Structure formats: structure tokens, C-alpha cells
Amino acid sequence: AQSVTQLGSHVSVSEGALVLLRCNYSSSVPPYLFWYVQYPNQGLQLLLKYTSAATLVKGINGFEAEFKKSETSFHLTKPSAHMSDAAEYFCAVSLSSFFSGGYNKLIFGAGTRLAVHP
């Protein structure tokens, strides 16, 4: 079965600093990986996804993530944090439909709350 682990339930950075949110996955077959963002009292928004194409994935709002099979990681980064980036970030994993032979479940990590201070 697949799973994801997000290291750090809370991350705090200064405005303009590097954002690094960590996600490690466990999967016996090549996974599809996703990062979602949830702003306070709002729904989920897809930031980016990895679906077995390029290992460096660029998403919205200046975020990117790199799929590293050797490290089973899919960390989310942004070079310079903005106050508007303060939100909850979720990493999620789904089996590739090529391998699943059936339906795919999207499984979420516990989430990381990002705080950005002036």
C-alpha cells in the first residue's frame, strides 16, 4: 500500500526566505504524487503533480517539486516566500493507473502548516 509522510507539521519562514516542505512517500510501484494547498476556510487547490514525466515539476505561485526516486521524496520548494503563501500544504500519493489494475485512491499526508512572518 502507498503512503506519504510529511516532516514537520508546522514550518515558519521569513518573508523572502526559501520555503522547503518535506514529503516522503512509500509505494511498491511508481507513484503519482501531488501537492495541494488549502487556504483558511477554503477548498483544496492543486499546486503541482508528478505523473512520471519530468522529475522537476513546476506548479502555480512559483512552487516547484522534484521527484527523487532514490530518496523516495517529493519535497516542495519556493525560492522566496510571500505573506500570501501562509496556508496548509498537503502531499498526496496515488498509484499509477498503469500498475493499479483497478481504481486509484489518493492518500494524503498529515499536512504542513506554513507561516510566513515579516
In contact, 80 and 18? CB cutoff 8 Å: yes
Least distance in angstroms from the C-beta of 33 to other proteins: 11
Q: Which is nearer to other proteins, 45 or 84 (CB)?
A: 45
- For residues 15 and 88, which CB has a smaller minimum distance to other proteins in the complex? 88
46 lies in the site for other proteins, by CB under 8 A: yes
CB 105, CB 46: distance < 8 Å: no
Residue nearer to other proteins on the CB measure, 30 or 111: 111
DSSP codes, 53-94: S-SEEE-GGG-EEEEETTTTEEEEEESS--GGG-EEEEEEEE
Place of cell 503563501: 85
Binding residues for other proteins, rule CB under 8 A, total 21
To other proteins, the closest distance from the beta carbon of 12 in angstroms equals 17
How many residues are present in the chain?
118
Q: Using CB under 8 A as the criterion, which residues of the chain lie in contact with other proteins when the complex forms?
A: 32, 34, 43-44, 46, 49, 51, 53, 90, 92, 94, 97, 103-111
